[in-house]
Amino acid sequence: MAAVRLAFVAAFLGVGPATAAVTHPGNTSIMPECVPACSRLANIFGPQAYSRGDANVTLWDAKQQETHSACWIQPSSTEDVSTILGVIIDTSCRFAVKSGGHARNPDDSVSAGGVTIDMQRMRSVEVSPDQKTAKVGSGHILLSLYQGLEKYNLTTLGGRVADVGLGGYVLGGGFSHLSPKYGLAMDNVFEYEIVLPNATVAVVNPQTHPDLYFALRGGMNNFGIVTHLTMRTVRQGQMLGGVRTYTADRRDAIVEQAYALTTGWKNDTDMAFFYSYGYDQESDDFTMAVSQEYVRPVISPAPFAQLNQIPFEHSTLRLDRISQFSIETASATPPGGRNLFATVTYSPSAHLDRHIQDIMAQEIQSLRTARGFYPNLVIQPLYEAAIRAGKERGGNAAGINADGPLTGMYKTNVPCYLALLTVRWENTDDDNHMDAFAQKWVERATAVTKDAGKHHPWLYINYASTEQDPFLSYGEANRQRLRRIQSEVDPRGVFTSGGLCRGYFKLQ
């Protein structure tokens, strides 16, 4: 943590005339266009314009902690965001937008040498009179969103990790403990407030801008800066949650129970779960963990009865608030490590679960002694009820509906497994080795799911590696529609790979 603290003591950038890139601590070059941009933003916003050293900022990934911006700015309103984007476009300065700071690469949410727009001041919660929706600021992390709604005994379709930002989570899809009943988070956004690439403000819903409404549900940060979202709220008190851990010799029993929960209990939409197979460097062995979720306050719900007969090492199962469970999940991977994700999708199969776990175990052999090395393979289902719920909301850009990529190769309403490989390590010198390991796992896992006739091409964008192309997996029709919509709202290409906001996955 000492290195993390030291990273936050950079001096404020002195702004003034410049004709060449300025070298900033951390070997990041400040783009000359951004010096006048920062000066203008400082004049407009005063103490809201700051360098990283002056910021009250937490970044999850060390690669982003090492990334230095010309300046940071914290808007407090949609109008502020519009003003900021206008200055940035006028000066042709590169920028990135940070919601929670849980991304993994430079320029995803921290600009390398440009302006970082930090949305953390925009954490409003406005519950509707009937308490069926809430208009919330996109600067929330999931913990602050949960805590804001719990005052009303409400929740929404948030994720499992406290420090993940709401903006990126929802724009990419959003898996939730409520997904079996209501679909993904993006299927439960009824309206967006967004600053468009020309710095004007739009309110987007199915009536005002149907094409853009479609695009924002899965299209990520390619259409502007979302400032507020009106989301479904659900009454929620205490629920069952927590994790049980197991020794590796229980793997077969866990894998079989996961398959049974996915296929045999799919109609109990109060139930959700995910499980993991990870390497523990200290013991030089593998461990298993299962996270149980049941939205009603039932300590021993029927779906988990068989699973709970398997001997375990440790348990945190309890009745509690979802906010507390999100803190627990986040504690497993605190800020400061170097991280990458990769993913494959396939039809449920206990045999394939074991096979792709074995592939991970085989491919890590040369990396076992890398400092801070922690590979973990998380498997969770996307239930057919969630697919149906998304279709009932009109479908989405990701193509998750009965005629889309998740079911187009198989029977209608067949669940899928999403396998998420997470890799964590400490040393910069190991970056390329970890990238190669993840790519090899994807290559081999994809091959075995194809050989088994159970592969599905859809890739969840929030789990994809930089070497994967999730937009291609949305289907050609959806990808071309997204590109057309982007060209219409962003004719200057501000949010394209060659534009001013280049981070994360780009449509063009």
pLDDT over 70 (residue 410) = no
Q: Which fold has domain 125-236?
A: 3.30.465
- Contacts made by residues 403-412, CB under 8 angstroms, sequence distance 24+: 404/458, 404/475, 404/478, 405/456, 405/457, 405/458, 405/473, 405/474, 405/475, 406/345, 406/382, 406/456, 406/458, 408/475, 409/456, 409/457, 410/347, 410/456
Quote the CA–CA distance of 225 and 167 in Å, as a whole number: 9
Beta-bridge partners for 189: 231
Q: Return the CATH class of domain 239-473.
A: alpha beta
CATH code for the structural domain at 33-118? 3.30.43.10
Top-confidence range, 260-269, 398-407, 410-419, 434-443: 434-443
210 pLDDT tier (thresholds 50, 70, 90): very high
Beta-bridge partners for 377: 277, 421
pLDDT digits (tens, 9 = 90+) for 305-338: 999 999 999 999 999 999 999 999 999 999 999 9
Per the CB < 8 A criterion, the answer to whether 81 and 89 are in contact is: no
Higher pLDDT, 251 or 29: 251
The single-letter code of the amino acid at 63 is K
* DSSP code at position 13: P
Q: In sequence order, which residues have a C-beta less than 8 Å from that of residue 5 and are 6 or more positions away?
A: none
Amino acid 411: pLDDT: 37
Amino acid 109: pLDDT: 94
Higher pLDDT, 106 or 28: 106
Amino acid 56: pLDDT: 66
383 pLDDT tier (thresholds 50, 70, 90): confident
392 pLDDT tier (thresholds 50, 70, 90): confident
Quote the CA–CA distance of 124 and 14 in Å, as a whole number: 33
pLDDT over 60 (residue 13) = no
Per the CB < 8 A criterion, the answer to whether 446 and 490 are in contact is: no
pLDDT digits (tens, 9 = 90+) for 51-97: 655 566 789 999 999 999 999 999 999 999 999 999 999 999 999 99
Quote the CA–CA distance of 489 and 471 in Å, as a whole number: 18
Residue written as token pair 């986040």 = 330
Q: Is the dihedral of CA 195, 200, 205, 210 positive or negative?
A: negative
Amino acid 147: pLDDT: 98
Single pTM value for the model: 0.91
pLDDT over 80 (residue 20) = no
pLDDT over 60 (residue 346) = yes
Residue spans of the domains in the chain: they are 33-118, 125-236, 239-473
Q: Kindly state the greatest CA–CA separation across the chain.
A: 69
Amino acid 280: pLDDT: 96
